Amino acid sequence: MTRKFFGTDGVRGRVGESPITPDWVLHLGFAAGRILASQAIGARPTVLIGKDTRISGYMLESALEAGFSAAGVDVLLVGPMPTPGVAFLTRAMRLSAGVMISASHNPYDDNGIKFFSGEGTKLPDAVETAIEAEMTKPLACRPSAQLGKVRRINDAQGRYLEFCKSSFPARLDLRGMKVVVDCAHGAAYDIAPNLFWELGAEVTPIGVSPNGTNINDGVGATHTEAMALKVKEVGADLGIALDGDGDRLMMCDASGRVFDGDQLLYAIVKDRVLAGAWRGGVAGTLMTNFGLERRFADMGIAFARAKVGDRYVLELLAERGWEVGGENSGHILCLDKHSTGDGTISALQVLAALARQQSSLADFTADLHMYPQRLINVRTPIELDLAATPSIQATVREAEGTLAQKGRVLLRASGTEPVIRVMVEGEDKELVDRLAETIANAVRQAAAQALQ
């Protein structure tokens, strides 16, 4: 069965439009509960539900809660919680599954549902397919005596904060360091600033006043200019920017220079190599900068690319038996620290590396030479078959010929937004920018023609 609703990161869409409607999410909770109940042995299954700070989270939380209860599944509610916090609590409390209500870096009027297994990892595609199949059956209800019960966990944030702190070396602290922490008015707005403060840093928080509609609005990992400006304004040593659900990370140094996921991943790997603690290889994605791949080759470190999406990075790591991987978008996985990507824990690994090596972020990553890369997101009101659109393919072939094997072109449909992502990478920045714009225009024209 082909999945209709689940994308690379759960179900996502505009609130009030299918599938992000209260009746559909109610049915989703019931269907997921039925699948969990069919797999349960002995005790009644229990799921944990967290959410980010979107106003629609209240509505969707209630709908999911009702669906699970109708299926005979107990529910634990934790309120606003970063996505990796939901994964941690699900695993730590030995639950059947975890559910996060979030659309990650998307605007507030989008929302989504993502599931975690009892091990704190993303659900396999096969389980998501089984849930979709279950949704073709009528919504029902267990007898009253078998309905699920609901309980709120009041100390969930404190449990997760201590877990994050445990990933930072006990012999190190952040005393004498001044940091800006940008939480994107999202799920980490309370936890992250307190975490870095407890480790000794002087913290200037921004993006910590959620009102239900300002999540990711001009702040956070997808709008790093706010972090960079504040770092320079207050004279901070570093900036740390998370996205709305706390699983992405971007950082900047005292000059305001922004470092993306590829560069931060390199800092983590290099530190482990220097400490004699490295083993295995690194997993990236099709979007990983070629400069990072070349640098790892120079270091004798194996590197492999997965499809775009942190779930596919995780699958590749599991397949190879490796521990570290990530995306240039800021999803970084350190499987010896957590079962999923975690922006806060990733930031702690970078800070630990700089403290151990007594170096600045710029100096520590100076031997990594990134290829100029241009990414353009082309919003398309209609689905395009890229491979079957001659005008797009001809433009791509021409660009690849111009690059003459000294760069690459990648086009893909986003799994989380109605956009085509156009990426061009090469040695010459001006050429890369020009070719990316040319291809993006070809995609826009093809979409316009398809609508006629």
Just list the catalytic residues: 104
Query: Can you tell me the distance from the alpha carbon of 442 to that of 339, in angstroms, rounded to the nearest whole number?
Result: 40
Strands (E), 124-229: 150-152, 178-182, 202-206
Strand partners of residue 101: 51, 113
Strands (E), 143-212: 150-152, 178-182, 202-206
The Cα angle at residue 254 between residues 248 and 257, in degrees rounded to 5: 60
Residue 347 tokens, joined: 């930031």
Coil vs helix vs strand at 204? strand
Report the candidate in 446, 452, 400, 397 with the shortest Cα–Cα distance to residue 426.
400
Coil vs helix vs strand at 99? strand
Strand partners of residue 436: none
Report the candidate in 329, 110, 370 with the shortest Cα–Cα distance to residue 220.
329
Distance of CA 267 to the CA centre of its chain: 19
Count CB atoms within 10 A of the CB of residue 150: 14
Query: Can you tell me the distance from the alpha carbon of 203 to that of 180, in angstroms, rounded to the nearest whole number?
Result: 6
Bridge-based pairing state of the strands 110-117 and 11-14: antiparallel
Coil vs helix vs strand at 20? coil
